[in-house]
Structure 1
Amino acid sequence: MSMGFTGLNRTTSNIEPRTVNYSRSNGIDEIDDIRYINDIEYEAIKDELFGEFGFTIDQITEMQGLSIAAAIHKTYPTTASGSSLASSASASSSSSSATVVGNDSRTVATKLLICCGSELLGKSGLVAARHLKLFGFRPTIYNPTPGRTPHYHRLIRQCQEFEISFLSYLPNESRLIRDSYDLVVDVMDDYQQSLNTNNQEILGKLVDVCNAGTPVASVDVPFGWSANDGPPRSSGGIGGAGGEVMPVLLPECLISMIAPKMCAKLFTGRHHWLGGRFILPSLSRKYKLNLPKFVGSEQIVAIDTHCY
């Protein structure tokens, strides 16, 4: 299925750290020395946001979810006919997963599979699904381990009321996922727990889908990666039982939150965005984040020239 998106087949052997200095040719200020933070700094920033500065989980979840949706919309827009997406859809209507929106045959809805974890980012994925439905996409949610908090269940209820479908399991054949969705959004925020058997099985299916050409957009830390060290390279890194190497998810798009994590230096995809436009100037100075300027009312900013 060709929907105008290209998945990138890459191996970990050619992953090298990126430079942190990006030149701009589109009028956006050049971003010099943007700070890549480790997991300890990330947790410290969150503690200050929720503690001293009085933010609530509900607030952060909503703002991050809108950022995710904005990045998806800008990178993979649902478009009118004449675009590569719509042209491909009309050329292969029997197998395409793009569908007509309303009675307007000129517009197709991009089908998304949004995989959500149970923690803060997973909640933000549920919020993103809600916004993406309003933006004209057709999201489906897969949350293998739903959060147990009342807040999580409220977000699920809201998605249900927006008539967003939920998957109870991922098909064993990755072909079924590939043929049903145009884009997979990885918000499986449980990366620190991603070595258990169930999560490794999910990761393997997502990697198969990615390798088959379906683009994957990951939020903050790609599923199976270490926030500090990036993707596993060998059994000496992150591996399964008996030294078995875990499958490696190599997304086409990365949406960092608050500040890019150390692992983002090893991201080799085409699109890298920063979301989470709520960091106080005092926090930015304290942690020397050197965050880029957001333009106007934009909820995201490109931190890699490949975004354009």
Structure 2
Amino acid sequence: MVAIRYLSAKLAQQIDEELMGAVGAFSLDQLMELAGLACAEALAKVYTKEKYPRVLVCCGPGNQGGDGLVAARHLGMFGYEPTIYMPKPGSKDHYKRLQTQCDNMKIPTLPPSNETDSLRDVLSSSDVILDAIFGFSFKGPVRKPFDSALPLLAQSRLPIVSVNIPSGWDVEKGNVDGVGLNPEVLVSLTAPKEGVRGFTGRHFLGGRFVPSVLTGGMRDRTLEEKYGLNLPLYPGSEQIVELPSDAQSSQKM
């Protein structure tokens, strides 16, 4: 069996551009919806609403945070009790629309602030964290207001589900500075990133972005074949597939 590919930051960006270009023809909103749904599904698979009903969804100001807002909405629909924490809310229109959708569902949002008291309070009454703060374009060091938030999240000892790459990790080098979060669960979108090769928790692939069609019973890989991603098949209608532990033997691209 050929191993799944792990992506560099440059290649991940290139694939995103193709997905939103003539090849994939996805809109950014579509990709965020699929990503957020996959993240919500992964969290629900590992942390049931009966035992872990209260989810703190931590959103950064970029597309990663948008994925988190979508996930918060779906988690609310799944029967969880999400609370949104945005140390620095996004300013783009699509981000604001996603936030309004959560507001319409009466999902509470902590007010943006450099103070940490409100974060401490909500952590004490949460069961699990969804980390959607930094994406694969993150470059250190961690700056305000995130530099005070990440330690509090780590020190809470709550289980963490990270989106794409744990916040504070370099997309290609991993947690080299030792300031990143250490999640129990990771949801890689499109394909895993090079920096998470050493991740040892439960690892899911999500999104189902990459075109893949069945023709005469055989799979036409199209964009997947072009980049040699070697993605596993998603089971049935699920938006996620768990990667085996031996995925660490994958190739670099």
TM-score bracket relative to the smaller structure: 0.7 to 0.9
Separation (CA, whole Å) in 2 of partners of 1:178 and 1:145: 18
Within-5 A mapping of 1:153-168: 153-168=96-111
Question: Of the candidates 171, 186, 197, which is equivalent to residue 144 of structure 2?
Answer: 197
* CA–CA distance in structure 2, aligned partners of residues 173 and 112 of structure 1: 15
Confirm or deny that 1:228 pairs with 2:172. Answer: yes
Q: Counterparts of 2:12 and 2:123 in 1: how far apart (Å)?
A: 34
How many Å apart are 1:247 and its aligned residue?
2.8
Aligned partner of 1:48 in structure 2 is: 18
Q: Does 1:208 align with 2:155?
A: yes
Trace 1:155-194 onto structure 2 (pairs within 5 A).
155-168=98-111, 169=113, 171-172=116-117, 176-190=121-135, 191-192=138-139
TM-superposition CA deviations, 1:201-227 (whole Å, max 9, x none): 111111211xxx310111111010000
Deviation at 1:179, TM superposition (A): 2.1
Q: 1:283 to 1:194 in 2, by over 3 A?
A: farther
Matches of 2:2 and 2:47, distance apart in 1: 27
The separation in 1 between residues aligned to 2:122 and 2:18, in whole angstroms, is 40
Residue 300 (structure 1) aligns with:
240
Structure with higher Rg: it is 1
The 1:174/1:61 distance shift into structure 2, 3 A limit, reads closer
Residue in structure 2 matched with residue 263 of structure 1 by the alignment: 195
- CA RMSD, Structure 1 to Structure 2 (Å): 2.0
Aligned pairs for 1:23-172 (under 5 A) are: 32-53=2-23, 54-79=25-50, 85=51, 110-168=53-111, 169=113, 171-172=116-117
CA deviation after TM superposition for structure 1 residue 192, in Å = 2.4
- The secondary structure found in structure 2 opposite 1:266 is coil
Q: What CA distance in whole angstroms lies between the structure 2 residues aligned with 1:225 and 1:294?
A: 27
Which residue identity lines up with residue 283 of structure 1 in the other structure?
L
- Runs (4+) of structure 1 moved beyond 3 Å? 169-178
Amino acid at match of 1:258: T
8 Å contact kept, 2:32–2:66: yes
- The verdict on how the C-alpha distance between 1:68 and 1:194 changes in structure 2, with shifts beyond 3 A counting, is farther
Counterpart residue identity of residue 47, structure 1:
E
How many positions carry a matched residue from both structures? 232
The alpha-carbon distance between structure 1 residues 178 and 197, as it changes in their structure 2 partners (threshold 3 A), is closer
TM-score by length of 1: 0.71
Q: Give the 3 Å change call, closer, same or farther, for CA 158–47 of structure 1 in structure 2.
A: same
The question of whether the paired residues in 2 share the 8 Å contact of 1:174 and 1:208 is answered with no
Aligned to 1:248: 180
Query: Is the CA contact 2:40–2:74 (under 8 Å) kept in the aligned structure 1?
Result: yes
Report the residue type matching 2:241 in the other structure: V
Single out whichever of 189-198 and 257-266 deviates more from structure 2. Answer: 189-198
TM-score by length of 2: 0.86
Equivalent of 2:163 in 189, 210, 219:
219
Structure 2 unaligned blocks of 5 or more: 212-220, 247-253
- The letter of the residue matching 1:197 is K
Whole-Å separation in 1 of the counterparts to 2:127 and 2:245: 24
Q: How far did residue 193 of structure 1 move?
A: 5.3
